[in-house]
Amino acid sequence: MPRGARERRAAILQLAGSSGLTSVEELSTTFGVTASTIRRDLAQLQAAGRLARTYGGAMPLQHEASLRQRNGEATEAKRAIARWAADQVQPAETILLDSGSTTTALARELAHRSDLTVVTTSITVLHELAHADLQVECLGGALRQLSQGFVGPLTEVALQRRTFDRAFLGADGVTAEHGICEADLEQTRLKELMAGRAEQVYVLVHADKLGQRPFRAHTPLDPRWTLVTDDSADPATAAQFHARGLDLVVA
């Protein structure tokens, strides 16, 4: 059995990849180390984007793409979604932008405005609005490198001090049955908290993400939210959302 941290983490990935969900207790027994050591291993693997975590253990399902990788995907679709979303934002509103490539595209569409307050958890959104004539605020916290967004208790505390006219959320995938899919529960919890602070909620996802569940952490879709996608959406997949009473807009 591997003894060094590097070898043990490689073995954890291999074991969890073949066995699916793996608990901290099982890994601790398998490798003959303490549960706290396993939790440190999982934290390191998560930070490196090698697996997703649950409260009980690990979910090495698919490799999570970095935001830089996602920025080059479906650019025209994201631009269409962002333009539609920008048209919904009214003068003098306070809006919340989640981290993600499509919300970053939305920030780009809003950069010429001078009549808004934009609050975000996203470094890339901040970059797009750094020189805009807007009121821009950041909900700080622990930086998640892969998504270039802030998460964690500090983010959640700051969020509780604010309310919003609209919140725009991103997603790694979304299904009618399970809702928004993300790599870990910390992200899905934050999305639920964001939605709870906004009068109107929009989930921005290009069509390739509809019906996809690459990870096992989810935020259920509320029928009051609006799901916004592009015109390449598969009609059969779109029908699944309509069947559950969800508002699906094609930009």
pLDDT per residue as tens digits for the range 145-202: 878 899 999 999 999 999 999 999 999 889 999 999 888 888 899 999 999 999 999 9
Q: What is the DSSP string of 97-109?
A: E-SSHHHHHHHHH
| Percent of the chain as helix, strand, coil, to the nearest 5 | 40, 25, 35
pLDDT of residue 115: 93
Helical (H) or strand (E) element with 35: helix 35-47
pLDDT of residue 68: 54
What are the residue ranges in the chain where pLDDT is below 50? 55, 60-64, 66, 69, 71
Helices (H), 111-159: 123-129, 153-159
d(CA 51, CA 14): 11
Helical (H) or strand (E) element with 76: helix 75-88
Q: Which CATH number fits domain 5-59: 3.10.20.340, 1.25.10.10, 1.10.1240.10, 1.10.10.10?
A: 1.10.10.10
pLDDT of residue 31: 87
Q: How far is CA 29 from the centre of its chain?
A: 33
CATH topology of domain 69-250: Rossmann fold (3.40.50)
pLDDT of residue 118: 98
Residues of the chain with CATH 3.40.50.1360: 69-250
